[in-house]
């Protein structure tokens, strides 16, 4: 007799559940004899291992062709993969009916809009000697506290932290 992989896997799971049941077994009546769970699990495994295994899975022939040029199972697998969102939708349309976009448009990320509660943006021009960035937001003063990282430790710092108004 030939078993499929799924049937053989079910037999292994059944043997595991029998062994798990053997660990949980409790004596309800005094003098009750414990069933031999290990022997029952071994019998299930012996029965499953005694049969040959048939694989109902065949190698797929996936090539650079359209949906109609593939076998139905392969075409469904490729289509499901392309629908997952990992690829641009044009790839799926091209696979289905050989439709290609005439004008390729690059995908641009959506701009992030500033919320009304966000503070105004200030642009800092930094020099090679120093890196200036906001380290944290001071709740009491309502301003960002600055942190200066000196790239040249042996040279004196020349950093001016005053707020400047730029008019164009």
pLDDT digits (tens, 9 = 90+) for 31-77: 999 999 999 999 998 888 887 777 666 778 888 888 889 899 899 98
Q: Is residue 73 part of a domain?
A: yes
- The Cα 104–Cα 100 span in angstroms is 9
117 belongs to a structural domain: no
pTM exceeds cut of 0.75: no
* Residue range 91-100: mean pLDDT, rounded: 81
**First vs last Cα of the chain: how many Å apart?**
88
Q: With 0-12 CB in 10 A as exposed, 13-18 as middle and 19+ as buried, what is 136?
A: exposed
pLDDT confidence of residue 111: 74
Q: Structural domain tally of the chain?
A: 3
Task: Evaluate if residue 166 carries a pLDDT over 70.
Answer: no
Do 66 and 87 sit in the same domain of this protein? yes
Whether the pLDDT of residue 167 is over 50: the answer is no
Q: What is the mean pLDDT of residues 119-135?
A: 61
154 lies in the same domain as 127: yes
Same domain? 80 vs 44: no
Q: Which pLDDT band holds residue 14 (cuts at 50, 70, 90)?
A: very high
Residue whose entry in the numeric block shows the structure tokens 């012996």: 46
Q: Where in the sequence is the domain holding 19, given as residue range(s)?
A: 2-54
CA distance 44 to 12: 8
Asked if residue 36 and residue 66 are part of one domain, the reply reads: no
**What is the rounded average pLDDT for all residues in the chain?**
77
Please compute the mean of the pLDDT values over residues 103-116 and round it to a whole number.
74
């Amino acid at each position: 007799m030939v078993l499929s992989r799924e049937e053989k896997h079910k037999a292994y799971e059944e043997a595991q559940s029998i062994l798990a049941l053997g660990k949980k077994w409790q004596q309800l009546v005094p003098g009750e004899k414990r069933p031999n769970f290990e022997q029952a699990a071994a019998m299930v495994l012996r029965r499953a291992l005694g049969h040959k295994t048939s694989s109902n899975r065949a190698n797929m022939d996936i090539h650079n062709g359209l949906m109609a040029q593939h076998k139905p199972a392969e075409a469904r697998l490729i289509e499901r993969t392309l629908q997952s969102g990992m690829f641009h939708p044009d790839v799926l349309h091209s696979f289905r009916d050989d439709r290609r976009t005439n004008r390729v448009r690059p995908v641009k990320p959506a701009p992030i809009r500033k919320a009304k509660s966000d503070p105004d943006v200030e642009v800092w021009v930094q020099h090679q000697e120093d890196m200036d960035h906001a380290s944290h937001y001071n709740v009491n003063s309502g301003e960002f506290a600055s942190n200066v990282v000196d790239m040249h430790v042996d040279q004196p710092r020349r950093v001016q932290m005053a707020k400047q108004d730029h008019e164009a």
